[in-house]
């Protein structure tokens, strides 16, 4: 057999693939592999303030999923072992479902994603690259800590959603279950506890993104 599938990928191939992933995550409309958890859930939101509040919260969550794509793409690029690369790709695929679900919900609410999505992606990509360079145990530890913090963020987001927004709630609850699974997987793979200053810096960076994406 012959063709691209049968030859080793060149540096240019990897560069083009990464550019495609970045454009899809930051600017595109990704397709989910799994059905949206909101499928079959009735939207009880009234027009006006509740819809604007729901849109602002889901824009924040969409921005977080853009950043998650950047993190896992970066960690995949700098991972030292095939096992770690495979784990990061799996996490990125599942986070890609979250990204698609959040974008679909934003469309339903008549809202646009954060204008700063390219910044969220590129910043997270750089952080992911650095995390991966620290070695597999550090990279898995970074994944576990990221997902723990995201779990707390989702709890906060669920409390802020309008009470009638059952569709957004269904999406966030499934996202939370997936994040918990990723954290368990990372710890089972040997992820090490990150130093307290690193954890604090991660929380601070997430806070900046949350506040900015809520408005822009």
pLDDT tens digit sequence for 119-160: 999 999 999 999 999 999 999 999 999 999 999 999 999 999
For residue 52, is it within any domain?
yes
> Which phi and psi (to 5°) does residue 136 adopt?
-65, -45
The answer as to whether 81 is a domain residue is yes
Which has the closest alpha carbon to 209: 132, 140, 157?
A: 157
Residue 196, domain extent: 20-25+43-215
| CA pair distance 160, 173, nearest whole angstrom | 13
Over residues 191-200, mean pLDDT = 92
- Residue 99, domain CATH: 1.20.1260.10
The predicted structure's pLDDT at residue 188: 95
- The predicted structure's pLDDT at residue 6: 43
Length of the chain: 216
Q: Cα dihedral angle (202, 180, 129, 30), rounded to 10 degrees?
A: -110
DSSP secondary structure code for residue 164 in this structure = T
Element (H, E) at 154: helix 136-160
According to the model, what pLDDT value does residue 48 have? 84
The backbone torsions φ and ψ at residue 27, rounded to the nearest 5 degrees and listed phi first, read -130, -15
How would residue 186 be classed by pLDDT, with cut points 50, 70 and 90? very high
CA atoms within 13 A on the CB side of 107: 8
Q: How far apart are CA 216 and CA 209, in angstroms?
A: 10
Does residue 3 sit within a domain?
no
Residue 10 is assigned to a structural domain of this protein: no
Query: Per the structure, how many domains does the chain have?
Result: 1
Measured distance CA(91)–CA(56) in Å, rounded: 25
Q: Which three-class secondary structure string do you get for 52-68?
A: HHHHHHHHHHHHHHHHH
What is the pTM (predicted TM-score) of this model?
A: 0.88
Whether 18 contacts 92, CB under 8 Å? no
Which distant-in-sequence residues (6+ apart) come within 8 Å of 202 by Cβ?
145, 146, 149, 194
């Amino acid at each position: 057999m012959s063709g691209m599938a049968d030859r080793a990928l060149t540096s240019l191939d990897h560069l083009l693939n990464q550019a495609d992933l970045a454009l899809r995550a930051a600017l595109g409309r990704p397709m989910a592999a799994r059905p949206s958890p909101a499928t079959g859930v009735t939207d009880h939101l009234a027009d006006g303030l509740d819809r604007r509040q729901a849109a602002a919260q889901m824009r924040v969550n969409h921005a977080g999923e853009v950043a998650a794509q950047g993190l896992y793409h970066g960690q995949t690029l700098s991972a030292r072992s095939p096992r770690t690369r495979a784990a990061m790709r799996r996490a990125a695929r599942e986070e890609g479902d979250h990204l698609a679900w959040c974008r679909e919900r934003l469309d339903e609410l008549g809202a646009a994603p954060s204008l700063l999505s390219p910044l969220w992606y590129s910043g997270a990509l750089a952080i992911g690259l650095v995390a991966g360079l620290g070695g597999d145990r550090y990279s898995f530890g970074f994944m576990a800590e990221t997902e723990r913090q995201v779990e707390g963020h989702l709890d906060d987001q669920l409390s802020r959603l309008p009470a009638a927004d059952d569709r957004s709630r269904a999406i966030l609850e499934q996202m939370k279950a997936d994040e918990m699974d990723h954290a368990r997987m990372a710890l089972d793979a040997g992820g090490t506890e990150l130093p307290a200053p690193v954890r604090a810096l991660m929380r601070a960076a997430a806070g900046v993104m949350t506040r900015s994406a809520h408005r822009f």
